[in-house]
Amino acid sequence: MTGEFRKWLATGLTVLAGLTMATILASPATAQGKTLTVRFYDDPAGFDPANIFRIENENIAFNIFSGLTSYDGVTGEIIPDLATSWETADNKTWTFKLREGVTFHKGYGDFTAADVIYSFNRIKDPATASPYAAELAGIVSMEAPDPYTLVIELDAPNGNFLHTVANYHQGQIVSQKAIEEAGDQVRWQPIGTGPYYLDSIDVSSQIVLKRHEDYYDGPAPIETIVFNIIKDEATATIALRNGEVDLVMRANQEENLATLEAEGFTMNTVQNYAVALMVVNPEVEPLGDKRIRQAIAHAIDFAAITQAISPSLTQAHYSMLMPWMDVYTDDIPKYEYDPERARALMAEAGYPDGFSFKNLSTSAQGVSEVQQFQIDYLSQVGIDMEMELVDTPTFNQRRNAGDFDTATRLLPAVNPDMILFSFLHPDNLVPNGLNGARYDNPEVTELLEAARAEPDPEAAYEMYKRVQQIVAEDLPYIPTYASNVYWPGKPEVTGVHINYLAQVNFHDVDIAE
Amino acid sequence: MAEYAAKKFAQMLVTILGVVTLVFFTLRLIPGDAASAMAGDTLSGEALERLREQMGLGEPLVNQYFGFLRDLLAIDLGETITTRIPIAELLLRALPITLSIALGTIVLSVAFSIPLGTLAAYMAHKGRRWLDNALTGTAMVIDLMPSFWTALVLLLIFSLALGWFPASGQLNWNDPWGVAMRLALPVIVLSLSQVATLARITRTAVLEVLNEDYVRTARSLGWSELRVLFRHALKNAALPIATVVGLSFGNLLGGTVIVEFIFTIPGVGNLLITGINSRDYQLVQTLIVLYALLFVVINFTTDLIYKALDPRVQF
């Protein structure tokens, strides 16, 4: 090595070291509070509670806004939020005691009952054109005898009203002043009372939340949350392994989960988040016969399929409701894998040699592995399931219109009453609602309405149980599997409790030193 | 020349109008709209109608069409249907990124493909088939690798294993080095197939020229092989190469869609995917008109370069 070169190298290294030091010193991360970087998986579509869609947007809104009630991240139970307590004698008149000392973000003032009345009226107002207006349609009157008491009168008893006013969609409380100032940009200028406020947003790359220092339950441990939009999951996995993000919102591919788990990342999860249902159109021959639907259920080994394809993400499930729901019952007929029974049922129904039907599905996903197995299992008993692949918006439109033989629906919801009403009540028949199976059983309809009105939880439970039993027998919807949600993260990121709406309350999250 | 330019310009306008009309109506022929794309699993019936109304999807098609034309003439790109963001604002951020990727790719691929292609042609000309075959064969294999696959492989090697380039992160123009590091892998991925194509074109063009009389004359004058190759052969082969480079620039703008997705680059391709997935007619039709405009302008420019490179070209 020549002296010249050594001198050059020494100079170069000194400059480099100096630059590195300067970068470290200038880095804002060391000067301020904690920052958490989270992978966000799609472009944000806005955070106006009146017009909010998709879980990832809802998760941001969940941390910006509060409702009268909220959901416990661990147990899924309804807990107080802006309301500290409530009472009702008949499920019709609800009196809420509101929390005092709650303030809106960015100096938009104190929270009072007037804000709740404004927020709910805004959703109900046809001028807002909120798709969630129907959720609050039952409210006849709202009165505030004092700023921290709210009396809501409903047109009919609703035992599930606490779900309606939870921190979700229509239940989120906004500030009148902020809404009026934002004009048509409400979705990008959300002002709430939640643990975080929206600091900045670049719709194609990044969302930054800052903690609300005056949050009623104390400021959150993490000062800044940066959501980086990384759409491709393989890239998101690499970003986590590279340390570019601390937490991955929604990892949905078995191979990525396996890699991350093997490398010691924390697999934050919520199990039994939602059930996938095969919606069967009874107007298509021979699907109107319940024995045929039972035969389909018996012919497919759902347990083996989920085990073979995605044991972390799915498991077999036999009910429309989830085990953690308070009205759930396990005491229903289950259709275990039994091809002989399937053949017998088909013969009984007059189709000993089988039949065929078309399953409507999205081309975005293609013929999934699950469906390939289903096709194979069904063919073994002589049922020919053809696949009809269309693009996603077409799929949504045709499914909403009820234009299919069978289609799949995954409806995440925490309110069991909402699921049962949407799927089983004749008021919600397609194309007006989600009842794609055209299910109209007077006995079930009567039970559902009575259960909703019943103030005694025990009595209501008995009615919901009966509904689940009848529906499992009639099988208008064939449950195929229940799915789980994962947010893999660095081991030092704690408190990632995913609730049953697949949302994380970032007030609980911290980064261990 | 002036007459020619005017004719070209008129052709350009007709082309653009055709694209606008075609895109406008075919987009709306596809079933599904922004409302059902947005609501997905959650809404149906009356609730969905409300959303549709709110997005202004109820207006008669003809009014929408002429409204779109009028706005285009006034250079008003409008707002996205689903998110109410001015499209000009989105483009202002996305366009520089995509153009940087496309330009970077052109520079990198020209720098590699022309010497390689010329070398292959020379080897073929000299009868050393094995090297020519090796070069063209490799180019063929590279060309066949799909970009989403090479993108992931490069990410695994250079980002995860070696840690040279980040896999995600913000593009901040105040930090040009950071931007360069973020765009390096996408540029390399796109250049790979570009190099393969351009090298083959160069090889064919140069090989053809090498058999021309004037090359033989140049050789007989005793000039060095390198001078013959680059001063005479390549210069005369430049015409078809320039055409392909010009056209590939347009193709590249489309080709960035996949790499932008995988490398999480918020460019125009990313916007287009968002627009298509959310059935945001306004966003998609504006972007496609923009692409068409770019293509037309590039074609026009290529014609001019043609003329500059070869004065014999007659209009």
Touching check for B274 and chain A: CB below 8 Å? Answer: yes
Q: Pick the closest to residue A489 from A208, A228, A241 (CA basis).
A: A241
Contacts of residue B264, Cβ cutoff 8 Å, sequence gap at least 6: A205, A228, A229, A230, A231, A232, A235, B167, B168
Q: Residue A293 in contact with residue A432, Cβ under 8 Å?
A: no
Taking the C-alpha atoms of residue A487 and residue A265, their distance in angstroms, rounded to an integer, is 10
- Phi then psi for residue B312, to 5 deg, are -70, -20
Closest CA to A229 of A191, A201, A252: A201
Nearest to B30 by CA among A68, A394, A114: A394
Give the count of beta carbons closer than 10 Å to the beta carbon of residue A26: 9
Sign of the C-alpha dihedral, residues A373, A375, A376, A378? positive
Q: Does A460 touch chain B (CB under 8 A)?
A: no
Inter-chain touch B160–A242, beta carbons under 8 Å? yes
Report the pLDDT value the prediction gives residue B177, as an integer from 0 to 100: 92
Q: Which residue has the higher pLDDT, B264 or B4?
A: B264
Closest partner residue to B167 (CB to CB) among A130, A206, A244 is: A244
- Chain A residues closer than 8 Å to B30 by CB: 391, 393-394
Inter-chain CB proximity A238 and B156 less than 8 Å: yes
- Which residues of A fall within a CB distance of 8 Å from B271? 204
User: Which stretch of A260-269, A415-424, B246-255, B261-270 has the lowest confidence by average pLDDT?
Assistant: B246-255
**Residue in B37, B82, B163 nearest the CB of A392:** B37
- Is residue B139 over pLDDT 90? no
Q: DSSP assignment, residue A382? A: T
Question: If we measure between CA atoms, which residue out of B184, B168, B167 comes closest to residue B176?
Answer: B184
User: Which three-class secondary structure state does DSSP give residue B110?
Assistant: helix
Of A230, A390, A397, the CB nearest to B264: A230
> CA–CA separation, A269 vs A225, rounded Å?
20
Cβ atoms within 10 Å, residue B249: 20
CA distances A134 to A125, A131, A139, B35, B45, Å, are: 11, 7, 10, 17, 11
Residue with tokens 């005092």: A100
- Given pLDDT bands bounded at 50, 70 and 90, which one contains residue B41? low
Nearest to B48 among A45, A130, A131 (CB): A131
Other C-beta atoms lying within 10 Å of the C-beta of residue B83: 20
Residue in A203, A395, A431 closest to B45 by CB: A431
Q: Which residue of B has its CA nearest to A41?
A: B264
pLDDT of residue A27: 45
Query: By the CB < 8 Å criterion, does B271 face chain A?
Result: yes
Asked whether the predicted pLDDT for residue B313 surpasses 80, the reply is: no
Beta-carbon separation of B41 and A409 below 8 A: yes
Task: Give CA separation, B129 vs A437, B123, B135, B211, B286, in Å.
Answer: 68, 7, 10, 16, 49
Pair type for strands A477-489 and A266-280: antiparallel
Amino acid at A303: A
Secondary structure of B241-279 as H, E, C letters: HHHHHHHHHHHHHHHHHHHHHHCCCCCHHHHHHHHHHCC
Q: In this predicted structure, what is the pLDDT of residue B306?
A: 72
Q: How many CB atoms lie within 10 A of CB B292?
A: 19
CA-nearest of A316, A321, A318, A324 to A421 is A321
Are B274 and A434 a contacting pair at CB < 8 A?
A: no
CB atoms within 10 A of CB A60: 25
- Cβ contacts below 8 Å, chain A against chain B, sum to 148
Q: Which of A293, A307, A312 is nearest to A373 (CA)?
A: A307
Best residue of A125, A184, A204 to probe chain B, by most B CBs closer than 10 Å: A204
Give DSSP secondary structure letters for B11-80. Answer: HHHHHHHHHHHHHHHHHHHSS--HHHHHHTTS--HHHHHHHHHHTTTTS-HHHHHHHHHHHHHTT---B-
Q: How far apart are CA A123 and CA A141, in angstroms?
A: 14
Task: Assess whether pLDDT exceeds 80 at residue B75.
Answer: yes
pLDDT tens string for chain A (513 positions)? 444 545 544 444 444 444 444 444 444 444 469 999 999 998 898 999 998 988 899 999 999 999 999 999 888 889 999 999 999 999 999 999 999 999 999 999 999 999 999 999 999 998 888 888 888 999 999 999 999 999 999 999 998 899 999 999 999 999 999 999 999 899 999 999 999 999 999 988 999 999 999 999 999 999 999 999 999 999 999 999 999 999 999 998 999 999 999 999 999 999 999 899 999 999 999 999 999 999 999 999 999 999 999 999 999 999 999 998 989 999 999 999 999 999 999 999 999 999 999 999 988 777 888 899 999 999 999 999 999 998 777 888 888 889 999 998 887 778 898 899 989 999 989 888 889 999 999 999 999 999 988 888 899 999 999 999 999 999 999 999 999 999 999 999 999 999 998 999 999 999 998
- Residue B156 reports pLDDT greater than 60: yes
A chain contacts of residue B48, beta-carbon cutoff 8 Å = 131, 400
Element (H, E) at A476: none
How far does B242 lie from chain A, in Å, by closest CA?
34
Is the CB of A184 inside 8 Å of chain B's CB atoms? yes
B6-32: average pLDDT: 83
Percent of chain B with pLDDT over 90: 21
**Under 8 Å between Cβ of A484 and A312:** yes
CB A391 within 8 A of CB B30: yes
Q: Chain A: residue nearest B274 by CA?
A: A43
Facing residue for A238 by CB, picked from B31, B39, B155: B155
Nearest chain B residue to A428 by CA: give it.
B45
Residues with Cβ within 8 Å of residue A347, at least 6 apart in sequence: none
Contact A154, A94 (CB under 8 A): yes
Q: Which residues pair with A488 in a beta bridge?
A: A267
CB contact under 8 A, A131 and B50: yes
Query: CA–CA separation, A238 vs A228, rounded Å?
Result: 14
Residue of A nearest to B149 (CA): A234
Q: What is the pLDDT of residue B276?
A: 84
CB distance from A22 to chain B under 8 Å? Answer: no
In A, minimum Cα distance to B280 occurs at A393
Each residue of B168-207: pLDDT tens digit?
888 888 889 999 999 999 999 999 988 988 998 898 888 8
**Best of A16, A43, A432 to mutate (most B CBs within 10 Å, chain B):** A43
For B96-105, what is each residue's pLDDT tens digit?
999 999 999 9
**Angle, helix B176-210 to helix B87-125, in steps of 10 degrees:** 40
How far apart CA B209 and CA B216 sit, in angstroms, is 10
Q: Name the residue among A477, A425, A465, A445 with its Cα closest to residue A327.
A: A465
The reply to whether residue A231 touches residue B264, judged by beta carbons under 8 angstroms, is: yes
In the numeric block, the tokens 């799929």 are attached to A395
> What tokens were used for B55?
């997005």
Task: Check whether B134 has a pLDDT greater than 90.
Answer: no
Among the listed residues A464, A155, A115, A160, the one whose alpha carbon sits nearest the alpha carbon of residue A321: A464
A409 contact B CB<8A: yes
Q: What is the pTM of this model?
A: 0.85
Closest residue on chain A to B54 (Cα): A129
B-facing residues of A in 125-164 (CB < 8 A) are 129-134
The answer to whether the Cα torsion of B277, B283, B284, B290 is positive or negative is negative
- Distance, first Cα to last Cα, chain A: 45
Q: Given CB atoms, is A344 within the 8 Å cutoff of chain B?
A: no
Asked if the Cβ–Cβ distance from B31 to A394 is below 8 Å, we say yes
Name the DSSP class of A348.
Answer: H
Interchain CB distance below 8 Å, B84 and A398: no
Dihedral pair phi/psi, residue A389, rounded to 5°: -100, 125
Cβ–Cβ contacts within 10 Å for residue A339, how many? Answer: 17
- Give the whole-angstrom CA distance, residue B278 versus residue B284: 10
B 221-260: CB under 8 A from A: none
> Looking at residue A391, what is its pLDDT?
79
- Any idea which residue has 């009148």 for tokens? A176
Q: Which of A185, A244, A433 sits opposite B168 (nearest CB)?
A: A244
Q: State which residue of chain A sits closest to B264, comparing Cα positions.
A: A230
**Chain B 94-113, residues with CB within 8 Å of chain A CB atoms:** 94
Residue B149: is its pLDDT beyond 80?
yes
The token pair at B154 is 């490069």
Interface of B with A in 23-82 (CB under 8 A): 30-33, 36-48, 50-51, 53-54, 82
Residue B299 touches partner A, C-beta closer than 8 Å: no
- Rounded Cα gap, residues A40 and A394, in angstroms: 26
Residues with Cβ within 8 Å of residue A109, at least 6 apart in sequence: A103, A175, A177
Burial (CB count <10 Å: 0-12, 13-18, 19+), residue B228: buried
| Omega within 30 of 0 (cis) for the link into A431 | yes
**Chain B residues whose beta carbon lies within 8 Å of the beta carbon of residue A206:** 170
Residue B314: per-residue pLDDT? 60
Q: What angle do CA B194, A239, B160 make, to 5 degrees?
A: 65
| Model pLDDT, residue B222 | 80
A339-348 helix and A290-299 helix, angle to the nearest 10 degrees:
160
